[in-house]
Amino acid sequence: MEKLLDRFLRYVAVDTQSDEDSQSQPSTAKQLDLLEMLCRELNDMGVEAHLDEYGYVIGAIPSNTGDEVPAIGFIAHVDTSPDAPGAGVKPQIIENYDGGDIALNGVPGLFLKPEEFPEMLHFKGLTLITTDGTTLLGADDKAGVAAIMHAVQYLKEHPEIKHGPVKIGFTPDEEIGRGVVKFDVKKFGADYAYTIDGGETGELEFENFNAASAKIHIRGRNIHPGYAKGKMLNASLIAMELNGLLPAEQKPEYTCGYEGFFHLTNFNGTVEEADFSYIIRDHDRTLFEKKKETLLQCVGFINKKYGEGTATAVITDQYRNMREQVEPHYFIVEKAVKAMEMEGIKAKIQPIRGGTDGANLSFMGLPCPNIFAGGLNFHGKMEFVPLESIEAASNVIVNIIKLFAATED
């Protein structure tokens, strides 16, 4: 059977970047390369699995106990973020990490440094997998994919382990907020599920941001600069002015914990017109709605100043805070805590400063907390993951399966 490291490296070698501007499902055909691979591998391990028309891999392992045991699902997404290059990933393997700077050899002079990322020092003596500085790594969420597949492999190697029905799901397009829009919860067949899509070892989350995206268009007026006085409307400068109206302290780099933010994700502008996008986030529903209203007020101010129709905004809700759906079934969180304790891991229950497929799944009737997969510095070239963290996630999956099958639980 394949080793965990080899499996993870094989998965990150596949370019699976999603595309928010695409209207297809999945948004990029290249995601199907990995999805088809995973479907084949599950079938090769003796797990009945299929890839449906929407790009969802669904697998099922029947119960091997005569007891009435809930069906438990484990879900991870295959796509990687559009925020950084995702093709041609060249991982670096740092064995027995010594706590020093790590050169990212694809970019001369670029280092992963503990003085900038002090959490690196938590992993001295372990095996770190980093990028080479030219792409992201893809541990978000191929670490979760590898952890699930490794757990499935372990179950198949150890048929003596008693378990109820186990459901496996791999999804596309999570990074662009469309991961489960066509996911058939009833067909999946789980009573409860867990996404394996968190960060550092021990992370356990059952509440997340309320989320929306906003696309702003500015219509300017281009006049020869030599004769522009009183006539020119520079769309790029107006866009910058609008951005400056938003609360400066509510940017990602100034927030933490339960604090929400406006995040400018891209900008494309000329004198004639400009287009830019935000993501809007807050755990508190009232504050979330207020943020959306604030952005619309800024648009209104620009239109009052420069003329109606200068600025237009389209705001789209993406997902909601899953806490209200998971908390009534809090025992599934407690199962995960116990499963971590069985590995000597102290659970860190905290809000997700982001989202997972589990948020939408919880509102679709499948309560779905989120468990760590081990990666850090997601969505960028500084991404890395300790191999031992992926292994720990896999062991926690197996422990959860055991706990739900245990008669005393």
Q: How many residues does the chain have?
A: 409
- 343: phi then psi, degrees, rounded to nearest 5: -100, 5
Q: At what angle do helices 139-157 and 387-405 cross, to 10 degrees?
A: 50
Are 18 and 79 within 8 A, CB to CB? yes
How is residue 200 written in tokens? 């550092």
Are 205 and 370 within 8 A, CB to CB? yes
Which residue in 15, 41, 79, 175 is the catalytic one? 79
Quick check: is 79 catalytic? yes
Calculate the alpha carbon distances from 385 to 32, 232, 397 in Å.
24, 51, 18
Quick check: is 207 catalytic? no
Are 374 and 386 within 8 A, CB to CB? yes
Which residue in 174, 203, 205, 282 is the catalytic one? 174
Considering Cα of 246, then 206, then 366, then 285, what sign does the dihedral take?
A: negative
Residue 221 backbone class (left: φ over 0; alpha: ψ -120 to 50; beta: rest): beta
Q: How large is the C-alpha radius of gyration of the chain?
A: 23
Which positions are catalytic? 79, 174
